[in-house]
Amino acid sequence: MRHVACIAAFTGSAIAAEPAAIGSIGVTPSEGGLTISADVMGYANAPATVEATLEIVRTDTNGSVRTRQVKTVEVTAGETSRVAQTSVSMAPDGTLDIELIIRHADSVIHRVTHRVVNETTD
């Protein structure tokens, strides 16, 4: 029997008290794997220009693969923009480490991480 577990961590409040933007990561099943998406929402100090970096590290018995997508967007308070989306396959007993980092004026203002574990049990 196969189980996929997802662990999420929100670390934005420790980085900036009133960030220009906050982010979220979506993980949904798709044919042959998972679809990973990253969104940025304008927050307290918007409008602003922010840089969003989505990094995914897939680890399994074959080794590790790192994927990174970077996008600069203009954010307005309350508006959400999709900044990255990709599909990945997962081997049995594989792990995905997913991180979204948002920067404004050369400083990290928000960080979100997810860990997805594909566990096989009898």
Domains of the chain (ranges; CATH) run 2-120 (2.60.40.2420)
Contact call for residues 94 and 56 (beta carbons, < 8 A):
no
Q: How far apart are CA 27 and CA 35, in angstroms?
A: 6
Residue 80 has pLDDT above 50, yes or no: yes
pLDDT tens digits along 17-54 = 678 999 999 999 988 889 999 999 998 877 899 999 99
Among candidates 4, 13, 7, which has minimal Cα distance to 25? 7
How many separate helices (H) and strands (E) can be counted in the chain?
A: 0, 8
pLDDT at 11 exceeding the cut of 50? no
* Structure confidence at residue 119 as a pLDDT band (50, 70, 90): confident
Q: How far apart are CA 22 and CA 107, in angstroms?
A: 13
